[in-house]
Chain A
Amino acid sequence: MLLIKKANINGTGTIADILIDENGKYKEISENITASDGTKVIEANSMMACPTFVNTHMHFDKAYTSELWQKELDLQYGRDSGGRDLCDA
């Protein structure tokens, strides 16, 4: 179990505690939840608690190819522009 204390729910200004069960699901959301034994606690201190972001438009097959081109150009012109290969990072 995981208990998040005093979170600003969705940035609405409503401060509440969030209890998450062993299956990773929300079990309780209310003003003052007491942690039972073995429950991990995160103090949010009024930070926002928001659902994770969703990013529906990516092109991961092409990601970080721009640095590969730079490397190839450097090879072609016999130079070293100092750029690191991001793919090796």
Chain B
Amino acid sequence: MHERIRKYTPEDVARRAERAIRDCVMYGTTKLRSNIDISMLDPNLNAVKGLLLAKEATKDICDLQLVAFPQEGIYCDPGTDKLMEEAMEMGCDVVGGMPAAELLDEHARAHVDFVFDMAEKYHALIDMHIDQSKDMFDRSLEYTAWKTMERGWQGRVTGGHCTSITYQNQSHAIKVMKMLKNADVNICANTQTMAIMGIDQEPRTRGVTRIREMVDMGINVITAQDTICDGFHLYGTGDPLDYGLVGCYCAQYNTPETARIMWDMLTSRSARAFDPDAKYGIQIGNDADLNIVDAPSVHEAIRIRASHPYILRRGKVIAGFERKAAML
């Protein structure tokens, strides 16, 4: 992956990104948020330039937020702090983070502090990868919840993956989840990619965050595609019903009622993380961003990964897809 990033050109990134964006729209998604690696592997920020080109090329079919994401860390990748600033100045919308990339616990905390400082400076939302391991000693999540309350950033922070909390003892995990609830931090589980990324020691399971407990406690839990055809994930279509189905398996959501929770994680709950102030849904006065889905219920739509003959953005039909199988 590192060698590929060093070879990025804006045009190469834009071409691949635009194709993946159109894939997502084709399956009925019109609001997207993409991380962009910010690191010394790409000191000219070709990835940012490429995503800005792709954003412009797709502005009529989706809303795309760009996250300045320090994949390789900030303190263990000197120079990244200045690149993060530059990326925000170039037009990134959201401040990302990766505290687990740091080598020392104090650097992980300083990394979170850096992200909040930058978010305040640019009045931006925060979306960090947090504690995406099986290591019970990865504890940036609770620090992030604390910082969210301290800085008054409630509802404007999202934590991605957050698997370490699953391996922490129950009393500690409950304390952290109460903090997350009080801080109104969104948790994005990304179950499909977490199920396949094999970067950990045995046992091979990569883990999944505590979806059911968090939902039951009132935390805004969501899930997303994460990646399409890269070094982390050979698969991925951009179809929310694909990763929603995997999400149901991982969360053991096996009733019509819990399938509805998963549907909400793909729609209204994610909309809240995307823009806490947005008007979303089928209500008079709202933008008509609408999927016509060929299924009688949301759990049936997830089961058969139903066709969407019409996909509308702001009242205009922009796409549609049919899933077909037939006995011959």
Contact = CB atoms under 8 A, between A and B. Distances in A.
A and B are partners in one complex rather than unrelated chains: yes
Interface of A: 2, 4, 7-11, 18, 20-29, 42, 44, 46-69, 86-87, 89
A54 B274 contact: yes
Given A53-B266, A61-B50, A68 B35 contact: no
A57 B292 contact: no
Interface of B: 1, 4, 8, 12-13, 15-17, 19-21, 24, 27-37, 47, 50-51, 54, 65, 127, 158, 160, 188, 190, 222, 224-232, 234, 238, 240, 263, 266-268, 270-271, 273-274, 280-298, 301, 309-317
Given A52-B312, A54-B30, 15 more contacts: A2-B288, A2-B312, A20-B288, A25-B288, A25-B314, A49-B282, A50-B290, A51-B280, A52-B267, A53-B30, A55-B29, A59-B35, A59-B226, A62-B227, A63-B230
A53 B285 CA distance: 19
Contacts of B294: 47-48
B4 A65 contact: yes
A61 B127 CA distance: 16
Contacts of B271: 51, 54
A69 B4 contact: yes
B295 A62 contact: no
Query: What 10 pairs between A and B have smallest CB-CB spacing?
Result: A24-B315, A24-B314, A57-B224, A63-B20, A54-B270, A60-B17, A62-B230, A53-B29, A61-B47, A60-B34
Contacts, number: 234
Contacts of A47: 292-295, 309
B231 A69 contact: yes
Contacts of A59: 34-37, 226-227, 230, 232
Nearest to A16: B282
Contact of B270 (A25, A44, A56, A69): A56
